[in-house]
Structure 1
Amino acid sequence: VNEMAEREQALRTQFDSSLTEKQQREAENAQLAEQVVALEAERNAAEVRESLLQFESEQVRARLVEIDEALRTGRQLLDAARDRRGELSALVAKLQSDAQYMAESCLNDLGVQRAELMADTTIVMVSGEALVQEDGLYREMRTRLDAMGPVNMMALEEYKETAERHHFLETQRKDLLDSIENTVATIREIDSVSRQKFEEAFHKINENFQHTFKKLFGSGHELMRLTDEENSAESGIDVVASPPGKKLQNVLLLSGGEKALTALSLLVGIFQYQPSPFCILDEVDAPLDEANVGRFTELVKEMSVQTQFVLITHSKKTMSIAPVMYGVTMQEPGVSKLVSVKFGAA
């Protein structure tokens, strides 16, 4: 029982102690709650102050930006003002130099002081574009005067001499132009006549060539044609031949004998256009065979009615048509002897 009482007493003491501690803790909690409320209020006040300070900071930054921009603009204006001051200083110096130059020019060129000219109210004042034009006219006239040089007292006489020389040269020039025109007209006439004569001769010789070609070959076709028919004066001539049994082809493709007969036909065609009393043929029958030599001799006999032929040949058949034959022999070494024979003389 005593133990229970003691335990009860201890429990009561512990309960009282706990109750006292509880009250103390509740007092502390109340105090802490008050502190929390105070701190909360202080925090709210700090937040409000922080917001105010942040707003003021933003305003200060914006103001600083405005100040920086104003400062930059002020510096730019200051630099521009300095540049403008430099330009104006240079312009003032130039205007002072121009004024000094104009004063010297007035004194040197006109013999009048600048102040006197400025005071003269009869002189029209110009500016702007009109001033530029007047200055250009002045410079042009000044250049012309400088180019004239000093006054030449003999200029009138020199002008008369030059005018006479010019008239003489103009007359000579006109004569030369007339001569050139007459010469050109004569050249045109000569070219026209030459072209006409050439075309007439070309067509006639072509006809003679075709006729002789058929006589020498027995048949066949041939022709001459201009390489440039539009410009006959400078055109070349192509000879195209077609002996019996062959197609029409360039004369360069023929055989040696055919070339010789074709050339002989062309030579005879030219000769017939303007015949001569004498004709010398030097071994033209050398590349011909017996049949072609016969046709050649018949052609020579036909043409010998109007032309006397002198034939140099080694062909007996050609010799047989000659009324007179001359031979060269060498009976002794180094000594030539001429022998002549007349056929048909009794």
Structure 2
Amino acid sequence: MIQVGILGATGAVGQRFIQLLTDHPEFELRVLTASEASAGESYRAAAKWRVDSPIPERVADQTVRRTEPDAIPDDVDLLFSSLPSDVASEVEHDFVEAGYVVSSNSSNERRATDVPLVIPEVNPEHLDLIEAQRANRGWDGALIKNPNCSTITMVPALAALEQFGIERVHVATLQAVSGAGYSGVSSMDIIDNAIPHIGGEEEKMEAESRKLLGELGDGEVQYHDAAVTASCNRIPTIDGHLENVFVEFAEDPDTEAVAAAFEDAETIDLPTAPDPLITVFEDPERPQPRLDRMVGDGMGIAVGGIQETETGIKFNVLAHNTIRGAAGASVLNGELLAEDGWL
């Protein structure tokens, strides 16, 4: 078993990490870290448990450690990070410099030229950037990122359609409140309302999607040349990001060809990976967050509403934002790191 730890284990995404890593077939959860205020407490006392399953007993009594490299046992091989990006931008470097491999959900450095931004079913070869990262920075460990929750909802569907020559993408998102964290949006702001702006989200979608779909060569990623435009909106659902996607192609695929491409999307043989990756609904009223966010145990992508437009194809896509879009994405990247011998 590979010994793993979670940096920032008490927050919402940290709790999802615990849910996914408990009884994992390859990873044994050895270390939990949090802020200085929580260090030394039992996890049960330090975390206000909010996940939709009981807190695992073997985790509840673990002692929370300081988020510092000297607090981590030497036999831990992999760390998962759910730290706030302003903290992670400094702290993650400390761990990587100390020789740890960090699979991070935090947003810092996703666009750094030598940091792999990876969805295993889409661009596993981008892990080779680790060689350039180690050469550039003199690190013994490695830092790998998964994209943000709205990007990871859309990009697997786009990757399945790349065979038709993607030229332009427009997307409007309907994002769940859990994407902002437990205290991220006040109830007075979101109940009976929708918020047509999420700070920084549109820029993340536009840049991260092009990096993920780009080609790796000579130690760097050449971004995909498609034009991507995003409009991001917060709505009063709890979990599950729903997105309306409009794509223009070099070719002219019909709806049947697009649906077949989704159904044939490449899967990957890792413990947390869903099969199929993309579930296609014929019912034009699906997918819906409440009904379909747990497709593939929360790791799948749900697509529906495929229609032809004057300029291309439009469809709706949905994924669970705190599972596939956050903790689950990092766990899957950790499995890929292990599979490819980076640990």
- Give the TM-score taking structure 2 as reference length: 0.18
- Give the TM-score taking structure 1 as reference length: 0.18
More strand per residue? 2
More helix per residue? 1
Greater relative contact order (Cα < 8 A, sep 6+)? 2
